[in-house]
Amino acid sequence: MISLRVVTVVSFALAIAAAANAAAVRGVVFDDRNGNGVRDAGEPGLAGVAVSDGVAVVQTDATGRYDLAAADGATLFVIKPRGWRPPVNAQNLPQFYHRPATGDGEVDFPLTASAEPDRFRALVFTDPQPASVEEVGYLERTLVQPLVGTRDFAFGLTLGDVVYDRHDLFAPLNAVMGRVGVPWYYLIGNHDLDLGTGDDRRSAASFEAVYGPSTYAFHFGRVLFVALNDVRFLGGPRYIGGLREDQLAFLANLLRVTPKDKLVVLMMHIPWFYPNPANAETFRAADRARLFALLQDRPHNLWLSGHTHYQRHVFYGPADGWHGASPLHEANVAAACGGFWGGPADATGIPIATMWDGTPHGYAILSVDGTDARVDYRAAREPVDHQIGLHAPQATRVGLGYISYFANVYNGHDGWKVESRVDGRTWNAMRRVLEWDPGYAERYLAQDAMAVPLPGKRLPDPTVCYHLWRAYLPADLPVGAHAIEVRATDPAGQVFTAKREVKVVGSVETNSPSK
């Protein structure tokens, strides 16, 4: 029996190529009740489950059967429906795929029933990027160990740059991440590419040999998660953000069979905004426009990305070419390796690894309630409520005006309310600025003053911080110690605080010039 097939032809050339190199594949998606991965007597097929070769998307019929003219050599995968889960291996890697599709064949996919509430949380890592076994150990000690055995998260994601050009580190890293104890999905990043190949498709071969297809999807709760390999290999170490025709076709086909009342979460490595004020081209703008066109009639969207080694929230609107009913939110997540596992060591011997916007290395937590989602931040090696880096002078002289202090609200954006006060006076709004985080700049510049350089990697060059707020000390503070307080309120109403002391000493003849 032929199942429903949904095919959107993105280009005539793509359709001709697919037809010329197709392999007829069929099989059953079934309820693996005994968990052995093989369909045994009495284990029913599952209707309406999507199966894909990375371009076409078909759905199983009433008996769980599908028929697919797959691209020859393609990796087949099941798109996990709500309430079901694929098997995982010893490292908690989901086994939802089969490769390759060659000639006529039968490929079955086992799934096991699993309750999925509307409300859930997921761990989101990006750029762990170890360049050595030692750095895999840093990841384990700073981020993984506190999460081992967690029961608070449905699954985990890593948004690319799993390793730093060291494919031999996939195995030890997987062993470490598997200890968290939840299914863990991976995306490819530019540092996961096979740089020796001259072909965009073949550049993902080493990654896909370990993790399966680099473009895929799964459902959880009322959410469709779509992983898109958006690293377009240009040869050597060169790359740019973008999507191939087959990936755009896959997404279009997938959305055709996805109800519009679902939240769609696109997961990619390279962000779709220009990551520096100079607006140097880092992605293909035409591809972003096509993504916008595919999604703008859907009311619930969220994008997750990595790559930048800082943290930033971007909300796209008409000026960017997004014409959806509400702004499209892209959350660019803090790197697990922070500043490339660099900087001076802490008391345990692990580099502080602060990112170049002053954010500590860490990870995100995606919290979903139906189709509403928010992205929270957790700093490694810090308490949960550590969300603000507060920089102020240790001491100043009495009567001086325009003495700045700064609050780096690590997960902040325009939707946050950031206020401060001194000595319990009235709370006043702080002003958001685009500058270096002065606390980070201080640590960075201290490296240049060292007669003997650090034994390991340096902290990287500072970059503009997109979540920095500034205020000024009152000029009428008397001699003595004074308390600066900052409170930051996120759009969900969560309030975070930071506090530090500044001393006012001595006297001066004149005040600072007015500004």
Judge if 222 and 325 occupy the same domain: yes
Return the pLDDT at 59. Answer: 98
Establish if 515 belongs to a structural domain.
no
Q: Domain holding 393: CATH number?
A: 2.60.40.10
Which range, 104-108, 180-184, 281-285, has the best average confidence (pLDDT)? 180-184
The gap between the terminal CA atoms of the chain, to the nearest Å, is 78
Judge if 158 and 265 occupy the same domain: yes
pTM (global) more than 0.85 = yes
Can you read off the two tokens belonging to residue 329? 């939110």
Provide the residue range defining the domain that includes 73.
Answer: 5-113
Return the pLDDT at 267. Answer: 98
* Average pLDDT, integer, range 493-514: 80
Judge if 347 and 250 occupy the same domain: yes
Among 379, 399, 432, identify where a domain stops.
379
CB 309 within 8 A of CB 276: no
Q: What is the dihedral of CA 244, 246, 247, 253, to 10 degrees?
A: 150
Judge if 355 and 400 occupy the same domain: no
199 — pLDDT class (breaks 50, 70, 90): confident
Return the pLDDT at 23. Answer: 79
508 — pLDDT class (breaks 50, 70, 90): low
Name the H helices within 90-177.
133-139, 170-177
* Average pLDDT, integer, range 171-183: 98
Return the pLDDT at 279. Answer: 67
pLDDT at 8 over 60: no
Return the pLDDT at 27. Answer: 95
Residues 392-422: tens digit of each pLDDT: 999 999 999 999 999 999 999 999 999 999 9
Judge if 258 and 182 occupy the same domain: yes
Establish if 511 belongs to a structural domain.
no
Judge if 107 and 9 occupy the same domain: yes
Determine how β-strand 395-397 pairs with β-strand 388-391. Answer: unpaired
Establish if 188 belongs to a structural domain.
yes
* Average pLDDT, integer, range 30-58: 96
Establish if 486 belongs to a structural domain.
yes
Dist CA 224 CA 265 (whole Å):
6
Residue type, 89: N
Establish if 510 belongs to a structural domain.
no
Judge if 104 and 123 occupy the same domain: no
Mean pLDDT rounded to a whole number for the chain:
92
Question: Could you tell me which of 337, 442, 333 has the C-alpha nearest to residue 389?
Answer: 442
Number of domains forming the structure of the chain: 3
Q: Domain holding 366: CATH number?
A: 3.60.21.10
- What letter does residue 224 receive in the DSSP assignment? E
Establish if 488 belongs to a structural domain.
yes
Judge if 434 and 459 occupy the same domain: yes
Return the pLDDT at 4. Answer: 33
Residues 46-75: tens digit of each pLDDT: 999 999 999 999 999 999 999 999 887 889
Judge if 339 and 398 occupy the same domain: no
Establish if 302 belongs to a structural domain.
yes
Judge if 127 and 102 occupy the same domain: no
% of the chain with per-residue pLDDT over 90: 86
Residues 320-361: tens digit of each pLDDT: 999 999 999 999 999 999 999 999 999 999 999 999 999 999
Judge if 394 and 354 occupy the same domain: no
pLDDT at 18 over 60: no
Among 362, 379, 396, identify where a domain stops.
379
- Look at 20-34, 67-81, 486-500 and tell me which has the smallest mean pLDDT: 20-34
Judge if 337 and 454 occupy the same domain: no
The CA distances from residue 166 to 87, 188, 297, in Å, are 27, 13, 41
Residues 419-454: tens digit of each pLDDT: 999 999 999 999 999 999 999 999 999 999 999 998
Establish if 372 belongs to a structural domain.
yes
pLDDT at 219 over 90: yes
Return the pLDDT at 10. Answer: 42
235 — pLDDT class (breaks 50, 70, 90): confident
- Look at 141-150, 215-224, 278-287, 456-465 and tell me which has the smallest mean pLDDT: 278-287
Residues 366-387: tens digit of each pLDDT: 999 999 999 999 999 999 999 9
CB 70 within 8 A of CB 101: yes
Return the pLDDT at 5. Answer: 36
102 — pLDDT class (breaks 50, 70, 90): low
Among 330, 361, 379, identify where a domain stops.
379
Return the pLDDT at 275. Answer: 78
